Amino acid sequence: MIAQSQRLEDLHLLKDDLKEVAVEIIEEFGSIGTLKVLFTGPDPITGEGGEYANERLRYFREFYDSRELVENLILNGDAKLYITRDSKPETSCVFVDDSDVEWGIVSVTTVAAQGGDIIYLIQIRK
C-alpha cells in the first residue's frame, strides 16, 4: 500500500512540474498577441458600440484536426489558443494574433493552474 501511495504522490509532483514547464514555454516562446477585453458594453437596443481595453499576452495557436470538427461546435478554420492569464477571458473578448487578424472567442476552458498562473484553452473563430 505504501508503494501505491508513493506512486500517486510521484504522479502528482510530475503533473505539477509539467504545468510549470507549460507556463514557462508559453511565456518564453509564445507569439505575442492582443486580448481586447470589453469593458463598456454595446448599446442594449442597437447592439452597437462598446469599448475595449487591450491586453498584450503570449500564446500558442494550433488548428483543430479534421477528426475534432463537430457540426455547429467546432468548425473548419477554428483554432485552439493556449494562454496564461490570472483570470478567465470572457467570450465577449476579441483576440488579435501577431498578424493583426481578429478572432472571436467561442469558448474558454481552464486547462491547468500552477500557482498564480492559469493555462486556458480558448476556441477562436474568424
The pTM assigned to this predicted structure is 0.78
How high is the mean pLDDT in each 10-residue block of the chain (126 residues)? 68 75 90 90 72 92 90 90 92 95 96 78 96
pLDDT at 79: 97
CATH class for the domain made up of 2-125:
mainly beta
Burial of 97 (0-12, 13-18, 19+ CB in 10 A): middle
pLDDT at 1: 52
pLDDT at 114: 61
